[in-house]
Every structure is written in structure tokens, then in C-alpha cells.
Structure 1
């Protein structure tokens, strides 16, 4: 990719706020982050975006709403039965699951458009440690950039632009 970038840097002015900027090369995009700001010691349900350097694993998208995103990453089209396990005691914690599922999950098929494009980040996945956070994604922001539960959210057009510049070696730097 001619314009690929080695990393995306999340810039926060005040660590406890839920707004930030995402720097991608020379471009900067407004984004929403967790309702509790950024935090080094991420815990399930704390509403914080975890501090760290996170690999970008893959892109999930709603094929009924947009075409395959242009990116150097692996893509998966999602459907109504796709979910993500957020139950720390379950063996599939912080992993994709098919719905219905016997433990607590987050549905990836949403009516509010936030998960039309989902970028899976490698936070707490190698290895998965129960309780240290699940479903930390980059996804589409609410129109008012309202806070997330720990994810990074951008305007859909901005997220698609970012995806066009990343490769499997790109990392999200939070901190």
C-alpha cells in the first residue's frame, strides 16, 4: 500500500475524558473513546479504553450496508448470528461466537449503525485473560461522538479512510 502507516496514535488531552483524536500519518480524525477515558489497568465493564500498543486483527462489516472496505486487513462479513462473548468465566471470553449463545454476549448485528464497520483490536487476546476486557474495537461513532464502553469510534467515512491505510503490521497506540 502506497500510503500505509506503521501505527495509529490516539491523542487525548485529558485522560479521563471520552473524546480524543486519532493521528494517522499526517491526518488527524476526531474520535470517541471510553466513558471513563483511558486506563492502564483495563477491567471488564469499567468503560475505559485500554492504554497500550494494540495490533489490528481484522475488519468485520455489514455487507447489507456497505461493500467490502478497501484495506490490507482480513475482512469478514457479519450476519444476525454473530456475537462477541463478554462473560469472563466462559471459555469463549473475548472471542467471536454464534448467537444465540449460552453466556453473556454482545451482538455484532446492531440497529444503530455503530457496528457497520468493526475493527478487531488485539487487546487481551494473546493470551485471553478473564476479566481484563473484551470486545475492544474501533467502530463507527455516534453522530455526537458520545462515549463508548472502551472502544475507539470514528465517523464512518473517517474509519473507512483509516482502513485504506493500514496493514496487518499497523498498531493502535493508546497512551
Structure 2
């Protein structure tokens, strides 16, 4: 591990000498991720890109390497889709998540390489770092931070930055993991 890594700890997400409160998946940290289990996958993941809502965040507030989210931007979560766990655009005939959401969760999204780019159907999709709904409220498997902390992190990382989710956190139970990460 290096100071440039994002590391999930029982106290929160450690980065650049700080520990930031975060939320994780409702299923806690899991060693064997399955689509829909609500788990945050253990392992070494890289940040491979990201998106932002230009109508909600000025381009000057985010790094230049982030891609603007448009009204047709989606992320496939359908195990039958040949583009499973990929950025796709509407119209799209398979199940998907809209990246342009009515809530602020995806106003800024950092994309990890979990099960990407060569996705194995059923191993999980859309494992992002994004804004939390509220402190301690679990995600569907992502890591979530407050808007101010997410912006602070995004301004200091680049694609290739490592996200480390230690397997030693797996099996702790979602309720205990959420309490520890508050």
C-alpha cells in the first residue's frame, strides 16, 4: 500500500493521510461478489474513469479526465447483455442503471475496474465510488462518500489510482461494517 491508494478500513476510506467516513454495500464486504447481493467486493481495484453531471457540478470543480453524463448515458447490469457491466446509451434493450439520476448519487462517479472490461456475467456490475444518500446508509455494493469528500478525493486521484478493499473485512456482517465505517 502507498499513500496514493484508497484503502477501506474499519474506520472509513483512508486516503492521503485522512480517513473519510463512507458507506459500503448493504451486504458488507464480500470475498465472492454476485450480481444483486449488495456486497462490496474485496480486492485490489483500479479507478478506470469517471463521470459527472455538468448541470449540477461545474467542470471547473472536477478533474478534466471525467466524462460528462448526458441524458442517454446508462450502465448495463443485465447478465444476458453482451455489454454487461459497460457504459451504454439509450435506447438499450437490456436492464440498466441510468447514470443521469434524479437524486445526487451519481452527480460524480468514479468507476472501478471490478469485473471490467471483460465482464463475467453474474459477478457484479457498476461498482463505483459515488455520493452517499446519507451517512451510514448502505449502497447496492459501491463505496459512497459525502459530496465534499468525494470531490476532495476526485481532485487528487487519476485513472489507475488503486482502491484496496481488504478481504479481512469480508464476512463482518453488513450492520457491523456500516457501524464501523461511520
Please give the secondary structure, in 2, of the residue aligned with 1:142.
Answer: coil
TM-score (norm 2): 0.85
Structure with a larger share of its residues in strand: 1
Does residue 38 of the first structure (1) align with residue 29 of the second (2)? yes
Equivalents in 2 of 1:5, 1:120: separation in Å?
A: 20
Q: For 1:134 and 1:10, how far apart are their aligned partners in 2?
A: 19
Mapped to 1, the partners of 2:122 and 2:81 lie a distance apart of 10
Report the Cα distance in structure 2 between the residues aligned to 1:133 and 1:89, rounded to whole angstroms: 13
From 6, 9, 29, the counterpart of 2:7: 9
- Determine the C-alpha separation between the residues in 2 that align with 1:79 and 1:145: 29
Q: Distance in 1 between matches of 2:94 and 2:147?
A: 30
* TM-score between both structures, scaled by the size of structure 1: 0.89
| Cα distance in 1, alignment partners of residues 68 and 74 from structure 2 | 12
Give the Cα–Cα distance (whole angstroms) in 2 for the partners of residues 54 and 67 of structure 1: 28
Q: CA deviation at 1:128?
A: 1.1
Q: 2:108 aligns with which of 93, 113, 117?
A: 117
CA shift, 1:127, in A, is 2.2
Whether the 8 Å CA contact 2:86–2:117 is kept in 1: the answer is: no
Contact 1:114 1:140 in 2 (8 A): yes
Could you tell me which residue of structure 1 aligns to residue 79 of structure 2?
Answer: 88
The structural deviation recorded for 1:5 is 4.7
Out of 137, 142, 149, the position equivalent to 1:146 is: 137
Cα deviation, residue 167, structure 1: 2.1
Q: Equivalents in 1 of 2:5, 2:62: separation in Å?
A: 18
SS at match of 1:44: coil
Q: Which runs of 5+ in 1 are unaligned?
A: 13-19
Q: Which has the higher contact order (CA 8 A, sep 6+)?
A: 2
How far is 1:6 from its partner?
2.6
1:58 lines up with 2:49 in the alignment:
yes
Aligned partner of 1:165 among 156, 159, 168: 156
**4+ long deviations beyond 3 Å:** none
RMSD: 1.6
> How many angstroms apart in 2 are the aligned matches of 1:115 and 1:121?
14
